[in-house]
Structure 1
Amino acid sequence: MKMSKASLNENAIVLRAIRTQQAGAFELYAFFIAASDILQIADISRIKREANELQGFQRKEIRAHVNSIVEFLDSGPVLFPNAIILALSRSVLFEPSRGPAPAGLSDIGRSGTLTIPRGKEGQRAAWIVDGQQRSIALSRTTNSALPVPVIAFVSPDIKTQREQFILVNKSKPLEPRLINELLPEVGALLPKDLSENVLPSELCTLLNTRPGSPFFGLIKRASSGTSGVISDQALITAIRQNLRPAYGGLAAMRNADGIEAERVFEALIAYWTAVKEIFQEAWGKDPTQSRLMHSAGIKSMASLMDTLILRTESMPDPWKEIRTALGRLAPHCAWTEGRWPVELGLAWNEVQGTPQHINRLTQFLVAKDRELSRAMK
Structure 2
Amino acid sequence: MSKEVRTIERRALRIMQNPEMPVYLFALAAEEVGQVSDVARISRDEAGKLIGYQRPERRSHVKQILEYLDSGDVLFPNGLILALPETVKFRASRGPATSDGLSTSGVLEIPIPESDDAPRPAWIVDGQQRSLALSRTKNSRMPVPIAGFVAPTLAMQREQFLRINTVAPLPSNLVTELLPEVFAAPSPRLSARRLPSALVDMLNQDPDSPFRGLIKRASSDGIERKRAVVTDTGLVEALKESLESPAGVLFPYRNMALGTTDTEGIRRLLLTYWTAVRELFPEAWGKPPTQSRLMGGVGIRAMSRLMDRVMVHVAVESADAAEVTRKELGRIAPLCRWTDGAWSEIGLPWNELQNTPRHISALSNYLARAYVDARAGKK
**Do Structure 1 and Structure 2 share a fold, with TM-score over 0.5?**
yes
Contact kept? 1:43, 1:121, Cα under 8 Å: no
**Matches of 2:378 and 2:268, distance apart in 1:** 28
The CA deviation at 1:109 is: 2.0
Give the partner amino acid of 2:333.
Answer: A
Report the equivalent of 2:27.
Answer: 32
Report the equivalent of 1:52.
Answer: 48
SS in 1 for 2:101: coil
The CA deviation at 1:96 is: 2.1
Please state if 1:126 is matched with 2:129. no
Please state if 1:291 is matched with 2:293. yes
Identity of aligned residues (%): 46
Deviates most, 89-98 or 331-340: 89-98
**Please, which of 261, 264, 285 is the counterpart of residue 262 of structure 1?**
264
SS in 2 for 1:173: coil
Report the equivalent of 1:235.
Answer: 235
Contact kept? 1:14, 1:114, Cα under 8 Å: yes
**Please, which of 197, 204, 211 is the counterpart of residue 200 of structure 2?**
204
The CA deviation at 1:83 is: 1.8
Report the equivalent of 2:70.
Answer: 74
CA RMSD of aligned residues (A): 2.1
Give the partner amino acid of 1:278.
Answer: L
**Matches of 2:179 and 2:186, distance apart in 1:** 9
Contact kept? 1:43, 1:122, Cα under 8 Å: no
Contact kept? 2:37, 2:121, Cα under 8 Å: yes
Contact kept? 2:179, 2:185, Cα under 8 Å: no
Give the partner amino acid of 1:176.
Answer: S
Q: How does 1:100-249 map to 2 (within 5 A)?
A: 100-102=95-97, 106-119=100-113, 120=116, 123-225=119-221, 226-227=225-226, 228-249=228-249
Give the partner amino acid of 2:29.
Answer: A
CA shift digits 1:32-89 (9 cap, x unpaired): 1111110110011111111111101111101011011111111211111112100110
CA shift digits 1:102-133 (9 cap, x unpaired): 39x51322212212222345611110000000
CA shift digits 1:249-303 (9 cap, x unpaired): 1111134342211111111001000100011111011111110000110000001
With over 3 angstroms needed to count, the CA separation of the structure-2 counterparts of 1:88 and 1:299, relative to structure 1, is same
With over 3 angstroms needed to count, the CA separation of the structure-2 counterparts of 1:169 and 1:329, relative to structure 1, is same
**Matches of 1:322 and 1:370, distance apart in 2:** 15
TM-score, length-scaled by structure 2? 0.91
Deviates most, 227-236 or 109-118: 109-118
With over 3 angstroms needed to count, the CA separation of the structure-2 counterparts of 1:239 and 1:331, relative to structure 1, is same
**Matches of 2:362 and 2:15, distance apart in 1:** 56
**Matches of 2:107 and 2:124, distance apart in 1:** 21
TM-score, length-scaled by structure 1? 0.92
Deviates most, 233-242 or 186-195: 186-195
**Matches of 2:56 and 2:38, distance apart in 1:** 13
**Please, which of 337, 340, 348 is the counterpart of residue 343 of structure 2?**
340
SS in 1 for 2:149: strand
Contact kept? 1:43, 1:127, Cα under 8 Å: yes
Give the partner amino acid of 1:110.
Answer: T
**Please, which of 270, 278, 281 is the counterpart of residue 280 of structure 2?**
278
**Matches of 2:279 and 2:117, distance apart in 1:** 47
SS in 2 for 1:26: coil
Give the partner amino acid of 1:7.
Answer: E
CA shift digits 1:133-155 (9 cap, x unpaired): 01101111112121111000011
The CA deviation at 1:313 is: 6.8
SS in 2 for 1:248: coil
**Please, which of 303, 310, 325 is the counterpart of residue 328 of structure 2?**
325
Aligned residues: 367
The CA deviation at 1:173 is: 3.0
Contact kept? 1:309, 1:318, Cα under 8 Å: no
Deviates most, 22-31 or 156-165: 22-31
**Matches of 1:371 and 1:33, distance apart in 2:** 69
